[in-house]
Amino acid sequence: MSTVQTTLILLKPDAVQRGLMGRIIDRFESKGLQIVGAKLMQIPRSLAERHYEAHRSRPFYPGLVRFMTSSPVMALAVRGVNSVAICRRLMGATFGSNAEPGTIRGDFGVSNSFNLIHGSDSPEAAVRELELFFAPGEVVDWTRGADAWVYDLSSGTPE
């Protein structure tokens, strides 16, 4: 069954510094996903620590928090049918050196530590992460005319 989901995407400091924001956002929109929230922000240390708290005991945690607070990020709320899984496939393997060509990391990344982008790994994580990065009202529900051309709506619901 198809489910419309909203997921969090973070364009990390390396993507912002390299001027890749527009090209990466284009990948999601070209796929047919809808941007329903976006903001350029400097992540405070406390937010980075909360966001990555599951990795707190890992040796890379301090460096990850330092990296994510080193420069602005672009936070996106991306909506579509099964958007969590679709976004994960568009992103590619975690390490740029292992990512397939045609994916965001495969086309733009080679580093195993600077990996350009974060995407929620499950619908449950998306709910939690969106609440961390977007205040009420910052994720906008709007009707996109193109949805009739993105999804087969002949049955009344997206395919």
pLDDT single digits (tens) 60-98 = 999 999 999 999 999 999 999 999 999 999 999 999 999
Over the chain, what is the mean pLDDT? Answer: 95
Which residues have CB under 8 Å from 131's CB, separation 6+? none
Catalytic residue list contains 55: no
CATH code: domain 23-43+72-120 is 3.30.70.141
**31, burial (CB in 10 Å: exposed 0-12, middle 13-18, buried 19+):** middle
**Identified catalytic residue from 116, 118, 120, 133:** 118
Query: Structure pTM?
Result: 0.94
Task: List the beta bridge partners of residue 7.
Answer: 78
Calculate ∠ Cα 40-42-46, nearest 5°: 135
d(CA 132, CA 152): 33
Total count of residues recorded for the chain: 159
> Residue 2: which pLDDT band, with cuts at 50, 70 and 90?
confident
Question: What would the pLDDT profile of 110-146 be if each residue is shown by its tens digit?
Answer: 998 899 999 999 999 999 999 999 999 999 999 888 8
d(CA 114, CA 31): 24
Phi, psi of 103 (to 5 degrees): -95, 165
